[in-house]
Amino acid sequence: MEYRTEHDSMGKIRVPADRYWGAQTERSYENFRIGTEKIPPEMIAAFSYLKEAAAIANFRLGVLDERRMGLIRTVCAEIREGKLDGNFPLAVWQTGSGTQSNMNVNEVIANRGNEIAGEKLLHPNDTCNMSQSSNDTFPTAMHIAAVMEIRRHLLPSIGLLAGTFEMLEEKYRGIVKSGRTHLQDAVPISFSQEISGWRSSLLRDRDLIEAALTPLSDLALGGTAVGTGLNAPEGFDREAAKAVSELTGMEFRAADNKFHALTSKSELVNAHGSLKALAADLMKIANDVRWLASGPRCGLGEISIPANEPGSSIMPGKVNPTQCESATMVAVQVMANDTAVGIAASQGNFELNVFMPVLIYNFLQSVRLLSDSLRSFNDHCCVGIVPNREKMRENLHRSLMLVTCLNPYIGYENAAKTAKKAFAENISLKEACVARGFLTPERFDEVFRPEEMAREQKA
């Protein structure tokens, strides 16, 4: 491998000749060979928006000339287009402020920009980091990445699955089945009502996530090192936030209190809490689907789901609810990530949080996993849900909890006696009720109508 010599305030160091990063990136790359987890590409993209916006703001405020602004903008666009992939190698397990990743982006922009210009016009610190500090850029990039990934990927995935459930509700309206509580038989419910619960849970989670985006749209940029805005021109924070909004097409604002913005990560904790809520509901929905599809002969067997791949290396013909299992594993990971996010956010010592890389790594992993999982669960499982009407009807009419409809006619205690007798003697509710003398056969048939016990209504 060929090398070139770069330098920083600590001296000279060799850097791979085919990479655009500089001395500070190389020092971090060599000093933190820990794990395989790298700063997420979503953060690099967010940094490209941030650096471009900062250059625009500095130009508008008269502290950066148009040519240098143009070079920075050109390289930032190349970063987003993937032309500079391979130039951002740093580990999550670095300094807790993310300083080296901020400098990684600065060095790549400077070296690539100077290559384009044919002369040294950009300096990593003096130009690319103008009016900024790692302490305000890294938390700003965190918020930009979080908002963009949620809006671009997660919210559409939630809408996709919710739309599928709405389609299934309409398609299978009118089918009545046994309800279940505590994993025990309960009073009847329509299949559409059951599905509507899944749909409404997703839509409520979407509302919670969207509400969390408002505080996430506040940016720390302009606070520089400790929140005072030292070395940033007056109005830089507002101009930079305005430019980020223009570049992304999403609304961002300058945080009112930069001291809070640098040290507290409450907005990310709050937002990840809503991601955990979505994960909890995804766990419940996927478990419902695989329970209902269990069998095909020795389980509930009330629905069929697509058979996507063989389920066993030894049992021929076995097919498993693999999409459900994948979704529930994702839910477990997101719930675990919430713990990491919360603990990391608690480490705001004095004027700066110093657990930011691990916090955003886990946050973005949760967004990515949920976005992909919801889409996969939709495309490879939920769109193919088909009710087994005969099995639903069989289970419905075998349920002892149908006795609940007799409460108004024979009372709770007599209804309980009827159910217990039917269960103990393995006879029907009708036979037990008549044998007890609570109702005549004719009167029982008049009041016992299982299909009418589920009050069908569009949720």
- pLDDT by residue (tens digit) across 330-384? 999 999 999 999 999 999 999 999 999 999 999 999 999 999 999 999 999 999 9
Is 249 domain-assigned? no
Residue 457 has pLDDT above 80, yes or no: no
- Which listed residue (134, 182, 376, 380) is catalytic? 182
**Has 326 been annotated as catalytic?**
no
Task: Give how many domains the chain has, as a whole number.
Answer: 3
Tens digits of per-residue pLDDT, 289-299?
999 999 999 99
Is 137 domain-assigned? no
- Give the mean model confidence (pLDDT) for residues 306-328: 95
pLDDT number for residue 455: 74
Tens digits of per-residue pLDDT, 35-63?
999 999 999 999 999 999 999 999 999 99
Is 352 domain-assigned? yes
Tens digits of per-residue pLDDT, 7-43?
999 999 999 999 999 999 999 999 999 999 999 999 9
Q: Are residues 268 and 366 in the same domain?
A: yes
Cα(334)–Cα(283) distance, integer angstroms:
11
Q: Are residues 154 and 20 in the same domain?
A: no
- Give the mean model confidence (pLDDT) for residues 443-457: 87
- Give the mean model confidence (pLDDT) for residues 106-113: 98
Q: Are residues 210 and 308 in the same domain?
A: yes
Q: Are residues 408 and 442 in the same domain?
A: yes
Is 107 domain-assigned? yes
Name the residue range of residue 308's domain: 142-175+190-223+259-389
Q: Are residues 352 and 439 in the same domain?
A: no
pLDDT number for residue 63: 98
Cα(422)–Cα(434) distance, integer angstroms:
11
**Has 182 been annotated as catalytic?**
yes
Cα(302)–Cα(288) distance, integer angstroms:
11
Is 459 domain-assigned? no
Place of tokens 């580990």: 91
pLDDT number for residue 117: 98
- Give the mean model confidence (pLDDT) for residues 251-260: 98
Which of 43-47, 213-217, 316-320 shows the lowest mean pLDDT across its residues? 316-320
Tens digits of per-residue pLDDT, 114-169?
999 999 999 999 999 999 999 999 999 999 999 999 999 999 999 999 999 999 99
DSSP 139: H
Residue 459 has pLDDT above 50, yes or no: no
* Side-chain half-sphere CA neighbours of 268 within 13 A: 38
Residue 189 has pLDDT above 50, yes or no: yes
Q: Are residues 73 and 159 in the same domain?
A: no
Asked if residues 371 and 157 have their Cβ atoms less than 8 Å apart, the reply is: yes
* Side-chain half-sphere CA neighbours of 429 within 13 A: 22
Q: Are residues 269 and 371 in the same domain?
A: yes
Region at 185 (left for phi over 0; alpha for psi -120 to 50; beta for the rest): beta
Residue 266 has pLDDT above 60, yes or no: yes
pLDDT number for residue 79: 98
Residue 458 has pLDDT above 60, yes or no: no
- Give 410's pLDDT tier (boundaries 50, 70, 90): very high
Q: Are residues 80 and 206 in the same domain?
A: no
- Which listed residue (153, 312, 366, 373) is catalytic? 312
Q: Are residues 30 and 146 in the same domain?
A: no
Provide the CATH number for the domain around residue 207. Answer: 1.20.200.10
How many percent of the chain have pLDDT more than 70? 99
Q: Are residues 59 and 195 in the same domain?
A: no
pLDDT number for residue 160: 98
Q: Are residues 215 and 337 in the same domain?
A: yes
